[in-house]
Amino acid sequence: MTPLVFALLAAAGASAAPAFEVSGSVALAGEDALDVRVDLANHGGDSGAVAVVGELAGHYDEATVTAIDAGGTGSAHLRFPRDAGRPGMYPVVLRLDFSPRVAPAGGVVPESRRAFLLLSLGASAPPAVRITVPEVLLADRVLLPVTLQSADATAHRVRLRVLGPRGLNAERARDEVDVPATGRVTVEVPLLRGSVPRGSRQGVLIVAETLDGELARTSTAVTTVEVEQDPAWLPSLRVPLVLVGLLLLVAAGVIEWRHLRPPRRAPVDPAS
């Protein structure tokens, strides 16, 4: 087993919001279990308790880290079965749910972030495919195009997962995709807005794991979804905007009429 590689998907927020850097390590816990330690370093504002939910090879565990001060650290321990099937590189997919310790004006809005750790079990294998995914703008539903390309000129069958924070859901959270030896294949995954705040930027994690071959191989990519501002204020301005438009039309008509009407002639004096 090797140390874990980490990444955190952050989203834009207020400067006082917690902002976590994630790292980790792994150790044996008896003969049949792995203990994955998830370390959180808070580079933002004070945080309340952080719920850490993790998944490895279809097995789930969760733990809670007590409140973490700004500049402080905390750790969670997750337990998973040791036998993952094949040797190779596996993702430990994480979701962090937390809130600021001090409620801002208007109340607390719980936040959620995705993160992942890469764990080498028995062998280290390079990614089998390359993932290309753009940033997208989301109102309520949008198609996220995920493009896959073989990294070794060999055809692969992969399990593709698109994972967002709580409140941003993929309509098809996982797909099995055949990636050709040459060329590209694109899968469009619908994203649905749930409870994520409007006007926010949310991180989305894409994971592709090989289903073929003797070694498990994992590819990852991240992208950002920009959630549109709340359009609810537009209906309330509809009537005033219509009235302003009508007044402008009337004013333009009056100006045009004054410009086109013939000039008034001065009366002729008969005595002249």
d(CA 84, CA 1) in angstroms, rounded, equals: 13
Q: Domain with 41 in it: what CATH number?
A: 2.60.40.10
* Structural domain contains residue 177: yes
Position 165, amino acid:
P
Burial of 63 per CB tally in 10 Å (0-12, 13-18, 19+):
middle
Over residues 95-144, the pLDDT tens digits come to 999 887 766 555 555 789 999 999 999 999 999 999 999 999 999 999 99
Query: By the 8 A CB rule, do 66 and 74 touch?
Result: yes
* Structural domain contains residue 266: no
Does 95 lie in the same domain as 153?
no
Does 95 lie in the same domain as 34?
yes
- Overall residue count recorded for the chain in this entry: 272
Does 97 lie in the same domain as 15?
yes
Over residues 186-231, the pLDDT tens digits come to 999 999 999 999 999 999 999 999 999 999 999 999 999 999 997 6
User: Which of 122, 145, 179 is a domain's end point?
Assistant: 122
Does 143 lie in the same domain as 54?
no
pLDDT, averaged across the chain? 85
Does 159 lie in the same domain as 110?
no
184 is written with which tokens?
A: 């590209």
Query: By the 8 A CB rule, do 46 and 17 touch?
Result: no
C-alpha 175, offset from chain centre: 18
138 is written with which tokens?
A: 């989301």
Torsion, CA 227, CA 228, CA 233, CA 235, rounded to 10: -120
Does 114 lie in the same domain as 5?
yes
Does 163 lie in the same domain as 110?
no
The residue range of the domain holding 177 is: 125-234
**125 backbone φψ class: left, alpha, beta (φ>0; ψ -120 to 50):** beta
Does 168 lie in the same domain as 71?
no
* Structural domain contains residue 93: yes
Give the dihedral sign, CA 206/207/211/213. Answer: positive
Does 118 lie in the same domain as 132?
no
Beta strand spans in the chain (E): 5-8, 20-28, 33-42, 50-56, 59-65, 73-81, 88-98, 111-121, 129-132, 136-138, 141-150, 156-163, 168-170, 174-179, 184-193, 201-210, 218-227
Closest CA to 135 of 232, 38, 72, 224: 224
* Structural domain contains residue 271: no
**Sheet of 33-42, strand order:** 20-28, 33-42, 73-81
Helix (H) or strand (E) holding 243: helix 233-260
Does 174 lie in the same domain as 134?
yes
Query: Does pTM top 0.75 for this prediction?
Result: yes
* Structural domain contains residue 212: yes
28 is written with which tokens?
A: 């044996």
d(CA 192, CA 61) in angstroms, rounded, equals: 26
pLDDT at 2 over 50: no
DSSP string, 132-156: E---EEESSEEEEEEEEEESSSS-E
pLDDT at 4 over 90: no
Over residues 147-172, the pLDDT tens digits come to 999 999 999 999 999 999 999 999 87
